C-alpha cells in the first residue's frame, strides 16, 4: 500500500482514507486533523501494527472485565439463591460465546466495537438464549404430556400401577424434543458473517 501525502490514515484501523474525509471509511472513527495519523511515521509500518495490536489488547481487557463482572454476579446469586445462580450460569455460558462471535464478526466487518455495543450484544445474546430455553421447556412439557397420555391410552392401562412405559416414553420424547428445539434455535440465531 503506497501512502502519499494526500491520504489520511486512521489511528484505529490504519486504513488509507481520501484527503477530504472526516471519518474512516472502514471503522467510521473520526480522523485526526493532520493528514497522517497523530505522531506516527507513515514510512514505518511497524508502529502502525504495534498501535493496532495495543488497541486489540485494550478491547480484550474490556471483554475480560465484563466476564469478571458476570462471574461476580453469578457468584452473588449462588450465595443468595443457589437455584437462580445455577440457572443464570447455564444461560450465561452460551450468551458469552454468542457475544464473542458477534463482536468478532463486527470487528472483521470494520464496525466500531465499543463498551456499549458489547453490553448490548451480551443483553441481546442473553435474551435469545433465555427465549431458546423457554421454548425448550415448553416443548418438553407439551411433548412429555402428549407422549405420556398417548402411550397410556394406547396401552389402555386402566389402573395406574403400570405407568413405567408411558412415563419413560413421555420423558424420553420430551427430552429429545427439548434438546432438538434448543439446538435448532441456537443454530438459527447464531451470528453469521454477511460476506
pLDDT at 53: 47
Number of CB atoms found within 10 A of residue 115's CB: 12
Residue bearing cell 464478526: 105
pLDDT at 47: 46
Pick the residue with more confidence: 156 or 139?
139
Q: Which DSSP category does 20 fall into? A: T
The per-residue pLDDT for range 59-101, each reduced to its tens digit, is 567 778 878 888 898 899 999 998 888 888 888 889 988 888 8
Cβ-contact 98, 191 below 8 angstroms: yes
Pick the residue with more confidence: 86 or 57?
86
Sorted by where each starts, the structural domains of the chain and their CATH numbers stand as 1-43 (2.30.30), 51-188 (no CATH)
The rounded distance, in Å, linking the Cα atoms of 46 and 130 is 45
This prediction's pTM: 0.60
8-9 and 16-17 strand pairing: antiparallel
- The answer to whether residue 1 scores a pLDDT higher than 50 is no
Contacts with 169 (C-beta within 8 Å, 6 or more apart), sequence order: 147, 148, 151
- The answer to whether residue 163 scores a pLDDT higher than 50 is yes
pLDDT at 38: 45
- pLDDT tier at 35, thresholds 50, 70, 90: very low
Amino acid at each position: 500500500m503506497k501512502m502519499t501525502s494526500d491520504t489520511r490514515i486512521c489511528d484505529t484501523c490504519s486504513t488509507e482514507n481520501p484527503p477530504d474525509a472526516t471519518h474512516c471509511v472502514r471503522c467510521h472513527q473520526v480522523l485526526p486533523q493532520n493528514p497522517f495519523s497523530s505522531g506516527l511515521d507513515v514510512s514505518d509500518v511497524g508502529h502502525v501494527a504495534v498501535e493496532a495490536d495495543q488497541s486489540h489488547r485494550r478491547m480484550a481487557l474490556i471483554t475480560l472485565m465484563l466476564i469478571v463482572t458476570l462471574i461476580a454476579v453469578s457468584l452473588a446469586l449462588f450465595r443468595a439463591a443457589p437455584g437462580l445462580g445455577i440457572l443464570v450460569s447455564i444461560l450465561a455460558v452460551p450468551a458469552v460465546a454468542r457475544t464473542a462471535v458477534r463482536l468478532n464478526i463486527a470487528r472483521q466487518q470494520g464496525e466500531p466495537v465499543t463498551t456499549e455495543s458489547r453490553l448490548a450484544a451480551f443483553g441481546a445474546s442473553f435474551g435469545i438464549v433465555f427465549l431458546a430455553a423457554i421454548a425448550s421447556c415448553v416443548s418438553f412439557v407439551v411433548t412429555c404430556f402428549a407422549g405420556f397420555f398417548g402411550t397410556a391410552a394406547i396401552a389402555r392401562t386402566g389402573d395406574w400401577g403400570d405407568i413405567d412405559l408411558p412415563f419413560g416414553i413421555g420423558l424420553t420424547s420430551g427430552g429429545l424434543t427439548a434438546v432438538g428445539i434448543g439446538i435448532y434455535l441456537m443454530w438459527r440465531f447464531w451470528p453469521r458473517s454477511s460476506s
